[in-house]
Chains A and B, each alone.
Chain A
Amino acid sequence: QKEVEQDPGPLSVPEGAIVSLNCTYSNSAFQYFMWYRQYSRKGPELLMYTYSSGNKEDGRFTAQVDKSSKYISLFIRDSQPSDSATYLCAMSAPGYNKLIFGAGTRLAVHP
């Protein structure tokens, strides 16, 4: 079983929809939870990170972490065609620079 599980999709939604992306994990040592966006043939771009449990909001993006359930989510409000990309969750334990990634969810937002 992988340390981080993420449904690869693809996920197709109409423009303006609320998108929910999720990951589960098994390692309770993880304290940092990141979301990256990767466009085709580009490197991953850091969207936001959360430390431990709780919510964090940045514009149209909201990240949630539930450590008791080992479950993290990224919500995208008012989705745009430009949001079409692969979204990767990543996690790390304190003191380590090693990121453990989910498989990535491919999102398509159609006009």
Chain B
Amino acid sequence: KAGVTQTPRYLIKTRGQQVTLSCSPISGHRSVSWYQQTPGQGLQFLFEYFSETQRNKGNFPGRFSGRQFSNSRSEMNVSTLELGDSALYLCASSLGRGNAHEQYFGPGTRLTVT
């Protein structure tokens, strides 16, 4: 069974630009969550999508947004990039809501903002 895939794996952007990251969950998984990982703050929850609806949101500014498609694939978008947005962005999938204990992570997208 294929795992969670994320594209692209690496990205370099300039301050002020916007970026879109993509996540394909494990087949059959309907919940997708996004996390940001930085050396200073560790792993922090961004948001969760289930049935194409955002179900939960972390404490991040509105520049961070996402969506989920009918096939459960998800994208996240960051607008007006700042230097502090440089991080590893991780996507995790699970069967459904209430399955946080069985979330499986992708390899992440490493975003560098210059």
Contact = CB atoms under 8 A, between A and B. Distances in A.
Interface of A: 32, 34, 36, 41-46, 49, 51, 88, 90, 92, 94-104
Nearest to A8: B42
A99 B42 contact: no
B58 interface: yes
30 contacts: A32-B101, A34-B101, A41-B110, A42-B107, A42-B108, A43-B4, A43-B105, A43-B108, A44-B105, A46-B103, A49-B102, A51-B101, A90-B43, A95-B97, A96-B100, A97-B31, A97-B48, A97-B50, A97-B56, A97-B94, A97-B100, A98-B48, A98-B56, A98-B58, A99-B43, A99-B92, A101-B42, A101-B43, A102-B42, A103-B42
Contact of B100 (A32, A45, A103): A32
Contacts, number: 67
Contact of A97 (B33, B43, B105): B33
B99 A97 contact: yes
B63 interface: no
B90 A92 contact: no
B104 interface: yes
A68 to B, nearest CB: 21
Nearest to A46: B104
B66 to A, nearest CB: 14
Contacts of B15: none
Given A43-B107, A92-B100, 14 more contacts: A32-B100, A41-B110, A43-B4, A49-B102, A88-B43, A90-B43, A95-B97, A95-B98, A97-B33, A97-B97, A97-B99, A99-B43, A101-B43, A102-B42
